[in-house]
Amino acid sequence: IYVEKLTPAQVTQPYPIVFVHGQAQTATNWLNKPDGQPGWASYFLDKGYECYLFDQPFRGRSPWQSFSEPLETYSAEHLQRYFTAPERYELWPQASLHTQWPGTGVMRDPIFDSYYASAVPFVSDNVLQQTAMRDAGAALLDRIGRPVILIAHSQGGTMAWLLADQRSNLVHSIVSIEPGGPPFSNAMFGNTSARAYGLTDIPIAYSPPVSDPSTDFSTTILPSNSSILADCIIQADDPPARQLAKLSKIPVLLVTTEASYHAQYDWCTVRFLQQAGVQAEHMQLSEIGIHGNGHMVFLEENSDEVAAVI
């Protein structure tokens, strides 16, 4: 994979940050915002952190492919609906609260067009993508050689679980911004089964071990008792829930914005993590006075305000 290392003039923080971008994105997410303002890489460099940014395998500046599977893309309309202007479509209850995207968030607005120009084709095979990212990411952590903080977004959140599972001794903590979810199912993009291992599509270490996820997990539905939240599929209490043993000693902060579609179901991911023995804290930005953000929070107008609380 292509990796950039950014070093501040004076390193004052003990743990480097490794940024993990999401689907159809690249490491450029973290460098500059589409309105021309500096991104989170600059913010954390100014705070004295070494920063590592990479493009996931098969994408952007990590283009090598050993397969013939066609790549997919997100249309401009898709990004408008779900990322930059959800308030225009109101596809979920919280969408109308979105206010922080700079500009109109739709095609022919120069800020939207700049953002859309940064979106790239991606592999839709989750097993292939996760396997490649697990191996490449583990090699990167080995190269760094000391514990890091993972800041991961969306699909990148799935990759962070896998990296921590593979190299738990080299991950100090995880900040997961609206990670792929919820467990075992899709809540927004079709009510279908997904993430057979709960958080991932490929094996991750449980205790007791999981050899066949279709039969080894005993699950139950946890109702939300709310018209604006999704119900959850989590592990049942009997037999006792399997534990994510390699993640249990790694602190996790899961961040959810006010207006994203993740506002419906990130609570399910937090509950699943806690049930599996992970030290997971849920930061809902609206509950600490930060309002109006959507899924691409680190590109929005108040991105530095959000960075300051994580």
Active site residues: 154
pLDDT in tens, 235-255: 999 999 999 999 999 999 999
Where along the chain do its domains lie?
3-183+246-309
pLDDT of amino acid 294: 99
**Is residue 259 helix, strand or coil?**
coil
As a whole number, mean pLDDT of residues 98-127 equals 98
Radius of gyration (C-alpha) of the chain in whole angstroms: 18
The DSSP-derived string for 66-101 is SS-PPPB---HHHHIIIII-GGGT--SGGGGG---S
Decide if 196 contacts 213 (C-beta within 8 A).
yes
The DSSP-derived string for 91-158 is -SGGGGG---SSS--STTSHHHHHHHHH---B---HHHHHHHHHHHHHHHHHHH-S-EEEEEETHHHH
Decide if 7 contacts 14 (C-beta within 8 A).
no
Retrieve residue 182's tokens: 């919820």
Cα–Cα distance, 161 to 21 (Å, whole number): 13
**Is residue 208 helix, strand or coil?**
coil
pLDDT of amino acid 66: 83
**Is residue 174 helix, strand or coil?**
strand
Centroid of chain to Cα 173:
14
| Contacts for 211 with CB less than 8 Å, ≥ 6 apart | none
How big is the chain, counted in residues?
310
pLDDT of amino acid 69: 80
Cα–Cα distance, 154 to 95 (Å, whole number): 17
Decide if 155 contacts 23 (C-beta within 8 A).
yes
As a whole number, mean pLDDT of residues 131-141 equals 98
Q: How far is CA 121 from CA 1, 27, 58, 111, 209, in A?
A: 16, 14, 9, 20, 35
pLDDT of amino acid 128: 96
Nearest Cα neighbor of 154 from 25, 9, 12, 6 is: 25
pLDDT of amino acid 150: 99
Kindly report the CATH number that applies to the domain delimited by 3-183+246-309: 3.40.50.1820
pLDDT of amino acid 42: 98
Question: Which residue bears the tokens 């399910």?
Answer: 268
- Residue 220 CB neighbour total at 10 angstroms: 11
pLDDT of amino acid 187: 86
Cα–Cα distance, 108 to 257 (Å, whole number): 26
Asked whether the predicted pLDDT for residue 190 surpasses 80, the reply is no
Element (H, E) at 165: helix 155-166
pLDDT in tens, 61-107: 999 888 878 899 999 999 999 999 999 999 999 999 999 999 999 99
Cα–Cα distance, 197 to 131 (Å, whole number): 14
Mean pLDDT of the chain: 97
Asked whether the predicted pLDDT for residue 269 surpasses 80, the reply is yes
Asked whether the predicted pLDDT for residue 189 surpasses 80, the reply is no
Asked whether the predicted pLDDT for residue 113 surpasses 80, the reply is yes
pLDDT of amino acid 191: 78
